[in-house]
Amino acid sequence: GESVGLHLPTLSVQEGDNSIINCAYSNSASDYFIWYKQESGKGPQFIIDIRSNMDKRQGQRVTVLLNKTVKHLSLQIAATQPGDSAVYFCAEKNTEYGNKLVFGAGTILRVKS
């Protein structure tokens, strides 16, 4: 069945370094991908998204890369800050078939000062 998974459950980085969070997806028909950030005790917050007709999209300090050949998604955070500490989820969907998102299990990002 469909699944979205993450390679690393926990990532620790030094403040100021760049962070890379990875995600593998199995449904080659998925055409839309989203990264969410979830801080402790809060709901998921949208960070950045990308459609399958792109391989890179940049936001403020964040970049999402999509490699459809190997069905891999990554989130890069530049100059990681303590406020970036959270759980990060990738999610996928096939826009032909409605609006259901399939979420991965999440990666914990810990930023050391």
Site string for other proteins, 2-21 (x = CB under 8 A): --x-----------------
- Does 46 help bind other proteins (rule: CB under 8 A)? yes
Residue found by looking up tokens 């078939």 in the block: 97
- Cα separation of the two ends of the chain: 41
- Does 101 help bind other proteins (rule: CB under 8 A)? yes
Interatomic CA distance for residues 68 and 103, integer angstroms: 18
- Does 45 help bind other proteins (rule: CB under 8 A)? yes
Q: Which is closer to other proteins, CB of 97 or CB of 113?
A: 97
Q: Which is closer to other proteins, CB of 9 or CB of 16?
A: 9
List, in sequence order, every beta strand (DSSP E) within 6-106.
10-14, 19-25, 32-38, 45-51, 56-58, 62-67, 72-77, 86-93, 102-103
* β-bridge pairing 56-58 and 4-5: unpaired
Site string for other proteins, 24-43 (x = CB under 8 A): --------x-x-x----xxx
Q: What residues make contact with other proteins under the rule CB under 8 A? A: 4, 32, 34, 36, 41-46, 49, 51, 89, 95-96, 98-101, 103-106
